[in-house]
């Protein structure tokens, strides 16, 4: 059983559509990170959220950390083909010394 559940597993949409992916857990995290991974490459950090209820925006991407720090969401507005990739969330426990727990990811395909 995954400690961090990501949904949906797969998402295929047209350019210009909006989408939201979710990262859920029954555990409380001190922070949560979102990474994007492209084929044949390692994950690259998009954002770190630390405070319950925190919202961070990165151009067309909006990240939210749940009030109880157990879940997070990533919303993409007007998706572009360049958004295609695997989106991973990773939770860090208090005193975790960078020992991240990763979800299995949401694979997003944006078609022209």
Partner 1 sequence: NAGVTQTPKFQVLKTGQSMTLQCAQDMNHEYMSWYRQDPGMGLRLIHYSVGAGITDQGEVPNGYNVSRSTTEDFPLRLLSAAPSQTSVYFCASSPTAGTHYEQYFGPGTRLTVT
Of 1-9, 12-20, 56-64, 71-79, which part binds partner 1 (CB under 8 A)? 1-9
- DSSP annotation of 83: G
31 binds partner 1 (CB under 8 A): yes
Of 81, 83, 41, residue with least CA distance to 62: 83
Cβ atoms within 10 Å, residue 110: 20
41 binds partner 1 (CB under 8 A): yes
92 binds partner 1 (CB under 8 A): yes
1 binds partner 1 (CB under 8 A): no
Of 26-34, 53-61, 66-74, 77-85, which part binds partner 1 (CB under 8 A)? 26-34
Q: Which long-range contacts (CB under 8 A, 24 or more apart) does 57-65 make?
A: 63/34, 65/32
Tell me which of 13, 20, 24, 50 binds partner 1, using CB under 8 A: 50
Torsion angle defined by CA atoms of residues 61, 85, 32 and 28, in that order, rounded to the nearest 10 degrees: 110
Tell me which of 24, 48, 73, 84 binds partner 1, using CB under 8 A: 48
Do the Cβ atoms of 32 and 89 come closer than 8 Å? yes
Residues near partner 1, by CB under 8 A: 2, 4, 9, 30-31, 33, 40-45, 48, 50, 88, 90, 92, 94-100, 102-105
């Amino acid at each position: 059983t995954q400690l961090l559940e990501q949904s949906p597993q797969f998402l295929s949409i047209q350019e210009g559509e909006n989408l939201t992916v979710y990262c859920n857990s029954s555990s409380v995290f001190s922070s949560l990170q979102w990474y994007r991974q492209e084929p044949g490459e390692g994950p690259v950090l998009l954002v770190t959220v630390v405070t319950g209820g925190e919202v961070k925006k990165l151009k067309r991407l909006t990240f939210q950390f749940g009030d109880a720090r157990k879940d997070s969401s990533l919303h993409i507005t007007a998706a572009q083909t360049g958004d295609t990739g695997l989106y991973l969330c990773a939770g860090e426990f208090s005193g975790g010394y960078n020992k991240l727990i990763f979800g299995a990811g949401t694979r997003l395909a944006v078609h022209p």
